[in-house]
Amino acid sequence: MKHDITDRNDIVLLVNTFYEKVVRDAVIGPIFTDVANVNWDHHLPVMYSFWETLLLDGRTYAGNPMKIHTALNKKHRLLEYHFDGWIRLFVETVDELFAGSKAEEAKTRGAQIAQLMLHTMRESETM
């Protein structure tokens, strides 16, 4: 039976599984692998901390995601269908691995931040 997201090990599994899907995805994969040329040894632990801070009150993340994506958006415009693809893969991953209130919260927060990010990207282009 699936259990809820309860500790950092769960977050690690969630994030690793999600980015395995992301790199194979035809729509958003190339943004990570070709445009940003992501250093996964650096990025994955940052993402563990990000989600731990959001879901488990870990307080281990202190970055500025909007700034990073605004810079990325200048190199490669991040459009609604990219964020839709991100949300689809994230929801699919959470549902595959977990069930419970934290799992629901992860999906809701992910989708909310994606919406906010899309909005912030367009705003940043008018400045």
For 51-57, the CB contacts below 8 A with 24+ separation are: 51/11, 51/14, 51/15, 51/106, 52/8, 52/11, 54/106, 54/109, 55/5, 55/11, 55/102, 55/105, 55/106, 55/109, 56/5, 56/6, 56/7, 56/8, 56/11, 56/102
Among 44, 56, 72, 97, binds ligand HEM (CB under 6 A): 72
36 binds ligand HEM (CB under 6 A): yes
122 binds ligand HEM (CB under 6 A): no
Q: Which is nearer to ligand HEM, 31 or 55 (CB)?
A: 31
Among 12, 13, 38, 56, binds ligand HEM (CB under 6 A): 38
Least Å distance, CB 123 to ligand HEM, is 16
Contact residues for ligand HEM, defined by CB under 6 A? 28, 31-32, 36, 38, 42-43, 46, 50, 63, 65, 68-69, 72, 78, 82-83, 86, 110, 113-114, 117
